Amino acid sequence: MKLASLVLIGALILAIVTPATAHHSLVGTYALDQTATIEGTIVQFVLRNPHSYVEIERADSSGKITRWGVEWGGASGLGQTGITRDTLKAGDKVTISGAPARDPSERKVLLKLIRRPSDGWSWGSQPEEVIKGYAWFSPNAPVPAVSPR
């Protein structure tokens, strides 16, 4: 009986710990102490948990069109700030600021602020527009522009 209880406890611990270790480290992926600003056209917006994604196309410094991945908060947290599946559409031109990837060859950003100039819509400039767990972002901090990679 004791052996069966120990095996059950071990299995439960393994089941709890395994999903936690599968989640990637934002600190290991993004340079959280830096800010990059990119402009482009939305190709896709996926609102889901645990993270939502925006994919944009933009011209690099030589004029070549490149795709960038933009990681955002999960659907649950974003929904609490008014974001829905219809908030962003393919074809929307946007400016996005956030933490760039640590590896410069990876074209991705962890979103802090997004603006759609066509109608003045933005997200990330108000104190309530911060994803829980993204505490290193200060909504009122200035967002410097970074030259394209």
119-142 pLDDT tens trace: 999 999 888 887 665 554 544 444
Q: Are 131 and 77 in contact (CB under 8 A)?
A: yes
Q: How many domains does the chain have?
A: 1
First-residue to last-residue Cα distance in the chain: 62
Looking up residue 55, the CATH number of its domain turns out to be 2.40.50.140
Residue 7 is assigned to a structural domain of this protein: no
> pLDDT digit string (tens) for 111-124?
999 999 999 999 99
Parent domain of 71 = 26-123
Residue 63 is assigned to a structural domain of this protein: yes
pLDDT at 13: 54
Residue 12 is assigned to a structural domain of this protein: no
Token pair of 125 as six digits: 């400039």
pLDDT at 17: 46
Q: Are 53 and 46 in contact (CB under 8 A)?
A: yes
Residue 11 is assigned to a structural domain of this protein: no
pLDDT at 128: 81
Using DSSP, state whether 39 is helix, strand or coil.
strand
pLDDT at 126: 87
- Ranges of the chain whose pLDDT falls below 70: 1, 3-25, 131-149
Residue 92 is assigned to a structural domain of this protein: yes
